[in-house]
Amino acid sequence: MAQFRRRSQVMCCLLLVTFVLLAFPGIAYGAGITHGAGTAYGEGIQVEASPQVITKTVFRGNVSSVKVKVTNRGSVPVEIVPEVCDLSIDEQGYNVEIPDCVDYAWGLRGFISVSPGRFTLEPGEERIVDVTIHAPGSISGGRYGILYFAASDPSAKGRIAMVIRCGSLLFVTVPGTETYMGRIRDARFIRPQEPGASAAVFEAVFENTGNIHMSATGHVTISNARKTLVNAALKGGTGTILPGGVRLYRADFEDVMPDGVYKVKVTFAFEGKSVTMEKAFRIKGGQASFK
């Protein structure tokens, strides 16, 4: 998932500014800006969606709905067009919009409808949008999406128009079908090259192999035949890891370990479960290599 390039680094409000060339060349407006959670604005356009994160449970074969409020906080009328995209989260914890042409097992786009499909808001006006989720009888685990609201100035005909998208994250769970599983996919040492950096960095990659979103905490110990030299938490946050997704965790070591043979033990805990990886490695001339 980390290979997809359409990425937003804002967890709650997602903004994309698109310049659309209409019938005749004209004036291009200034760039749009995210402003707090749930709000996006540009030149004269400021829209807000609430809530910013929607979590919903839907049983197999059932239909459920949720309401989202869209408010025009700007100074000009705006035309709003809802759009649903599939959501992934990369190894750094950034939201990733999945392109329509990509086959994605955990997407929500095919199970959701939004009404109305287009509407206009005057300055200060708000509108309640109905979001309907249709759960097939075969669905299980979780499905994930982004509900965008694309706002543009309808008076910008014949000019270059700015389109601003603000929206909400959608997390849908099918109760009774969740499977929580995970594994440590990789563990490695990195020797930073930057001046003033840590003596060494240990990285571990945790993968969600279940069918539902989760968070995980990691821990690493390093010992030799005599004692434990490192006993540290792995930093990667406790943010959400989607099914099929990975999260990169790391620990920085300030002290240089002498040449010798060591054992590293990595443990991740999630949803009352844990997984462990143990490896022997050797340090020689300041370089660490797994045996």
For residues 80 and 198, give the distance between their C-alpha atoms in angstroms, rounded to a whole number. Answer: 49
- Is 90 domain-assigned? yes
| Residue pLDDT, tens place only, 18-45 | 333 222 222 222 233 333 335 555 567 8
- In a domain, residue 226? The reply is yes
Cis ω before 136 (30° cut-off from 0): no
pLDDT-derived band at 190, boundaries 50, 70, 90: confident
For the chain, the domain total comes to: 2
CATH assignment of the domain containing 198 = 2.60.40.2360
Looking at the fold, whether 14 and 67 belong to one and the same domain comes out as yes
Pair 131, 252 in one domain: no
- Which range of residues forms the domain containing residue 25? 7-174
Residues 202 and 77 in one domain: no
Average pLDDT (191-214) is 80
Q: Tell me: the pLDDT tens digits for 159-186?
A: 666 788 888 999 999 999 999 999 999 9
> If you ran DSSP here, which 8-state letter would residue 256 be given?
P
The answer as to whether 2 is a domain residue is no
Average pLDDT, the chain: 82
Q: Is residue 98 part of a domain?
A: yes
Same-domain status, 75 and 135 = yes
Q: What is the pTM (predicted TM-score) of this model?
A: 0.79
Render pLDDT for 92-141 as a digit per residue (tens, 0 to 9). Answer: 999 999 998 899 999 999 999 999 999 999 999 999 999 999 999 999 99
Same domain as 197, residue 133: no
Report the alpha-carbon distance of residue 96 to residue 85 in Å, rounded: 10
Of 114, 144, 174, the one marking the end of a domain is 174
Q: Are 138 and 280 in the same domain? A: no
87 within a domain of the structure (yes/no): yes
State residue 4's pLDDT score. Answer: 35
Assess whether 100 and 236 both reside in one domain. no
Of residues 238, 234, 235, 241, the one with CA closest to residue 207:
241
Q: How far is CA 173 from CA 43, 62, 121, 188, in A?
A: 38, 12, 32, 34
**Do 223 and 166 share a structural domain?**
no
